[in-house]
Amino acid sequence: MTTISRRSFMEMAIALGATAAWGQPFPARSSAPWHERRDFYPEGVASGDPESDSVLLWTRCPPQNKDRNSAGKLNVEVAEDESFRHVVAAAEAPISEASDWTCRVLAGGLKPAKVYWYRFADAEGNGSRIGRTVTAPAEDDARPVRFAFVSCQNANDGAQNAYRRMIFEDERAAEQDRLGFVLHLGDFIYEIVWYPEDRPQGMYDRRLRDIVRYEHGEKVRDFHIPTVVGDYRAIYRNYLHDPDLQDARARWPFVCMWDNHEFSWLGWQGLQKFDGVTRPAQTRKVAANQAFFEYQPARLFKPSGPSLNQFDPPRVADAPITHFDEHGLGQEPNNLAAIGSLRGYRALRWGRNVELIITDQRSYRSEEPTDRAEAKALSSDDFPGLMPQEAIEILDAGSAYDGGHPPASIKYGGAEVPNFRREQPPQTILGAEQKAWFLERLRNSEATWKIWGDTVATLDMRADPQNLPSGITAAWPGAGYAGFAASYGTGDHSTAYVERGEIYDFVRENGITGFATIAGDRHSFWAGLAAKALPPKTFEPVGVAFVTGSISAPGMVEALEHGFPKEHPLRPLFVGQGPADTRPQPTINLLLRHGVRSCLEYAKSGDISKARALSNPDLSPHLSFVDMGGHGYAVVHVTRGMFETEFVCIPRPIERSDGTDGGPLLYRARHRANLWRKGETPKLESQILEGDPRFSV
Ligand SMILES: [Fe+2]
């Protein structure tokens, strides 16, 4: 285990903007007054980013009456036992209006791989609930590591039953099989909120909950978005009032990274995009960063200075961003200040076997090319969501296409669509500086498994419309396979071919083994192999890759059930029905795993085995499992010799479950890879443990 001096610990706490609580070698019985008053702490407690000797602790304690608005203090205690007879660390932490009465404490001097309990109290002893947390194992600890990864919880139109199920299973697990932490890969909040009266029909299958009213909100179409830090704080507070989420935060340390919705739905850098119009939003990016900093106990770097417990936002203005550098980074000073106000990418270590490298996919990325207005000419209502793969590759690579010889136009059926990307740099999602950091971390990692926590998915999502029998619909205007436009859920690392290729080539060239990517954002479960290209190009996997279903946000299958045109000739490929089915089935899973012929066979016979027998083997050699309609969470279990991911899928979380188990399970699927050696190809084996995800395999 690494030891750290008290002094350098204090410096670390200051750098993280947290109060320090240093562990004592001799535990003592608590002497501070504490009686539980959860109403004083309406957002509960949380812990985050554990290391082997320290962890961040969090709560919020707003003033009980309006006069008490000056700075106050909370006592925090950390103990080895739930009854606080063995308190190992205590401190007084300041809270103030400047940080919206949130409190961040770094508890240090702790022992590795150990459960601790913590609680807060004010001067009168009015106490928070008791939280539980777990430190990381020491770097030389070779024991297995187990953690959950999640993403996309939507309290506006869904329930957080997945957390209840996770708690239920963890409480019943043997001590050594319990989760060490929960990795949250973003969309912790959805900043776009529908007020129930704006959409009386609800959202797809769901009713809308009246969760927040933005004091300074802006209405866009029929929804509302935050504009100032007070609005962003309000949405975090309301999400944290969910009892299942609150209980989960009180049970495990969370490791949180933002995705898009912590700032803005289609946001990138300091920009927002609504109705096809991109607009500067630097002030909102800073506000979003401030609220994230205040509400998530995470080891984030804040360049604004060492003040304790305060964000100190840089002053920025919403100024047009017109000049982008050779990596697509907007050089406008307010943009650079806004995205620089908080650095989220970081690496954390759990023992000998896990290094988790977490990246930021929104703050430094260049514009998503398939979502641009000019790209509309490369799609058609005849083929909903589909875009020729070669067109996406040309748009992604920009000026670098074909060794620096991009075509002037892109063929689409009989049309020649101008290549609007031909003078622009290749798409980047990480940005140059972060990518350099990421590759160095990968190269230098000594952990058995180098796990890339990428908020956006890396696995290709494609279909084979070139194999449609003629006469069903118009001729496919592409040269071969189809990818999906960003509006169908990509716009992620699966279509950032150049950048993904650079990363995967780096992994192969440096002989890096034990490489795994885990992601969220797609609202669907995916298991497969990490490869930069698929047939007819050379398929050379360099790692394993997974995507977790959403906790509660609606997925594509639900959207298709409600929105896919009823009489469309390609309906069997998306939400088809066999002769005996009384409702639409998630045949898009078949489309992605096996191809168009399997989908058409299913619509004809309703026989899933016959459908799978017509699988196109070149379509998705990288995939073992796809469920575009799945909700729930994923559990990673690693040892020195293997990497295992389990998908725990629950029914559509339309309403909160009354039960202690979070409601029934739809299925449990496990995917396992043994550690491969340099030069060997990783392999993944899937096993269905419960239920029958029949369209997914
Ligand atoms: Fe999401």
Using the mean position of ligand 1's atoms as its centre, give its distance from the Cα of residue 520 in Å.
Answer: 7
CB atoms within 10 A of CB 326: 10
Gap from CA of 635 to ligand 1 centroid (Å): 19
CA 558–ligand 1 middle distance (angstroms): 14
How far is ligand 1, taken at its centre, from the CA of residue 152, in Å?
4
CA of 269 to the centre of ligand 1 (A): 18
- Cα(151) to ligand 1 centroid in Å equals 7
Residue 7's pLDDT band (cuts 50, 70, 90): confident
Rounded to whole angstroms, the Cα distance separating 394 from 381 reads 22
Distance 187 CA to ligand 1 centre (A): 5
Query: What pLDDT is stored for residue 343 in this prediction?
Result: 96
List the helix and strand counts (H, then E) for the chain: 15, 32
Question: Ligand 1 centroid vs 303 CA: distance in angstroms?
Answer: 28
- The CA 647 to ligand 1 mean position distance, Å, reads 17
Q: Are strands 415-418 and 482-484 parallel, antiparallel or unpaired?
A: unpaired
Expressed in angstroms and rounded, the spacing between residue 185 Cα and the centre of ligand 1 is: 9
Residues 309-343: tens digit of each pLDDT: 678 899 999 999 999 999 999 999 999 999 999 99
200 Cα–ligand 1 center, Å: 23
Please report how the helices 389-397 and 497-509 are oriented relative to each other, as an axis angle in degrees rounded to 10: 80
Q: Poorest-confidence range of 106-120, 290-304, 400-414, 559-573?
A: 290-304
pLDDT tens digits, 15-45: 888 888 888 888 999 988 999 999 999 999 9
- CA count, 13 A, side-chain hemisphere, 151: 29
Q: Which residues of 535-573 are buried (b: 16+ CB within 10 A; e: fewer)?
A: eeeeeebbbbbbbbbbbbbbbbbbbbbeebeeeeebbbb
Q: What is the pLDDT of residue 1?
A: 38
The whole-model pTM stands at 0.97
User: Residue holding tokens 């209405």?
Assistant: 219
pLDDT at 224: 98
CA of 526 relative to ligand 1 center, distance in Å:
15
What six digits make up the tokens of 690?
A: 């419960």
DSSP assignment letter at 60: E
Q: How far does residue 190's CA lie from ligand 1's centre (Å)?
A: 8
- Centre of ligand 1 to C-alpha 522, Å, is 7
CA of 364 to the centre of ligand 1 (A): 19
Burial category of 457 from C-beta neighbours within 10 Å (exposed 0-12, middle 13-18, buried 19 and up): buried
Distance 660 CA to ligand 1 centre (A): 26
For residue 113, report the distance from its CA to the centre of ligand 1, in Å: 32
- State both tokens at 682: 């990783």
pLDDT-above-90 percentage for the chain: 91
DSSP assignment string, 535-559 = TTS-----EEEEEPPBSSS--HHHH
**How many angstroms separate the CA atoms of 23 and 12, rounded?**
15
> What does the pLDDT average to over 56-83?
86
| Structure letter (DSSP) for residue 355 | E
Q: What pLDDT does 24 receive?
A: 82
Residue 232 phi/psi, 5° resolution? -65, -40
pLDDT of residue 68: 57
